Homo-oligomer: A and B are copies of this chain.
Amino acid sequence: MKIIVMGCDGYIGWPLTMRLTALGYDVVGIDNYSRRERVAEVDARSATPIASPWERFTELSKRYSNFEFRFVDVCNKSQVDHLFEKHRPDAVVHLAEIPSAPYSMISQGHCIETMENNVNGTLNILWAMKKYTPDAHLIKIGTMGEYGTSNLDIPEGFMKVNYRGREDTIPFPKQASSWYHQTKVHDTNNCMFASKIWGLRITDIMQGVLYGVSTPEMMCYEGDEEEINPSLVTRFDFDEVWGTCLNRFVAQAIIDYPLTVYGEGNQTRGYLALRDSLQCLNIAIDNPPEKGEYRVFNQFDELYSVKQLAEKTKKIGAEYGLDVKIKHIPNPRIEAETHYYNPDCEKLPLLGFRPTFTLEDELRIMIPFLMKYKDRIKEYEKVIKPKPYWRT
């Protein structure tokens, strides 16, 4: 089975590429290194010292013959067409998007850049699939953030409603809260339409917020969590633009920086460990939808409020001698700070998804792992404090 991983140099893309390669799929990774450039643009850097793309891909290729890399920009129609025409994948995991809400809110230029990269990139992939691989399976990474925080339960994509006495099953309406999240909503609408008119198989993943850094494949010896292979470690961003909430808290805890809880901290989301995201994506790959089927998976493990995540970080941090402080700061975002939140997550567990560790146990892996990079985090602590992009 041949799989294209688009965005194979990213936080998820790289460990996913290693996982799928190790499992024996024929993997073609593509990237244009733009994540590295955009992180540098905001003066941030990964806590983990990641290898150059060349070093990464060479190291993986030394171990496995079933991996190859191609430099492709998803916004370049010719490059995408050529990729599909030449490699004819059975499945495509599309991670080649700009994944940051704050980044998309920095300026008009960042808004339009995120819009064009994400929406046009996905369209180029959909068109290439129509032309060259109409039976292939697209696994598109969206976000739970597409749904927003209405007062309703959140189903997996579609809801059966009775409205004024009539019934239908309709897409759950999206209320996204950043330009980035809007691009994912647009992608969702475009994917649903492409599946309908062209008969494409599409799994649209509404993913929760990821956390974690190490996966077995980046260790020198499989299963040995102590010895990381410096050529294989994935990136770990902790700055206000690229760092996700729990990852940011762990980095802050390590350098004795009070955890920055935005506002009340009752904002509740679904969270998922990086290693479990790989497990879920693998399940999606192995269980493709029918021809012409567009399906939605809500992909997360547990729900936490920001405040609860801070408390967890404080509690587990103490086991490693960290005296973690928590500080509520004015919310740089415009979002509901207290809201109802009850999303479904049934489809992936039915297909076999079982979380590997509890969040606390994953913190027990993350904290000692990242303590080795304390100096690198400390050196960049200036990029932790959020800027109020939503309000300027």
Q: Which of B111, B123, B175, B390 contacts A170 (CB 8 A)?
A: B175
Q: Which of B123, B170, B390 contacts A197 (CB 8 A)?
A: B390
Would A152 and B123 count as touching, CB distance under 8 A? no
Q: How many residues of A contact B (CB 8 A)?
A: 44
Shortest CB-to-CB span from A374 to chain B, Å, is 37
Would B161 and A153 count as touching, CB distance under 8 A? no
Question: Which partner residue on chain B sits nearest A77 by CB separation?
Answer: B108
Cβ of A282 under 8 Å from chain B: no
Would B173 and A171 count as touching, CB distance under 8 A? yes
Question: Which partner residue on chain B sits nearest A196 by CB separation?
Answer: B334
Cβ of A362 under 8 Å from chain B: no
Surface stretch bound by B, among A44-52, A83-91, A186-194, A303-311: A186-194
Q: Which of B123, B175, B189 contacts A112 (CB 8 A)?
A: B123
Given A111-B123, A153-B163, A193 and B177 touching (CB < 8 A)?
yes
Question: Which partner residue on chain B sits nearest A130 by CB separation?
Answer: B108
Cβ of A64 under 8 Å from chain B: no
Q: How many copies does the complex hold?
A: 2
Query: Would you list which residues of chain A between 99 and 146 have a CB under 8 Å from chain B?
Result: 108, 111-112, 115-116, 119-120, 123-124, 127
Cβ of A235 under 8 Å from chain B: no
Q: Which residues of B contact A193 (CB under 8 A)?
A: 176-177, 179, 182
CA A167 to CA B108, docked complex, whole Å: 36
Query: Would you list which residues of chain A between 211 and 231 have a CB under 8 Å from chain B?
Result: none
Would A173 and B173 count as touching, CB distance under 8 A? yes
Would A166 and B189 count as touching, CB distance under 8 A? no
Cβ of A329 under 8 Å from chain B: no
Cβ of A30 under 8 Å from chain B: no
Cβ of A62 under 8 Å from chain B: no
Q: Which of B162, B186, B197, B340 contacts A186 (CB 8 A)?
A: B186
Q: Which of B111, B192, B340, B390 contacts A166 (CB 8 A)?
A: B340
Q: Which of B150, B152, B189 contacts A174 (CB 8 A)?
A: B189
Cβ of A172 under 8 Å from chain B: yes
Q: Which of B111, B166, B172, B176 contacts A152 (CB 8 A)?
A: B166
Shortest CB-to-CB span from A377 to chain B, Å, is 31
Query: Can you list 5 pairs linking A and B with CB atoms under 8 Å apart?
Result: A108-B127, A115-B123, A150-B168, A152-B170, A185-B189
Residues in A lying within 8 Å of B, measured CB to CB: 77, 108, 111-112, 115-116, 119-120, 123-124, 127, 150-153, 159, 161-164, 166-168, 170-177, 179, 182, 185-186, 189-190, 192-193, 196-197, 334, 340, 390
A115-B120, A150-B170, A152-B168 given. 15 additional CB < 8 A pairs? A77-B108, A77-B112, A112-B123, A115-B119, A119-B119, A151-B168, A152-B163, A153-B163, A153-B164, A159-B163, A161-B161, A162-B162, A166-B340, A173-B173, A185-B186
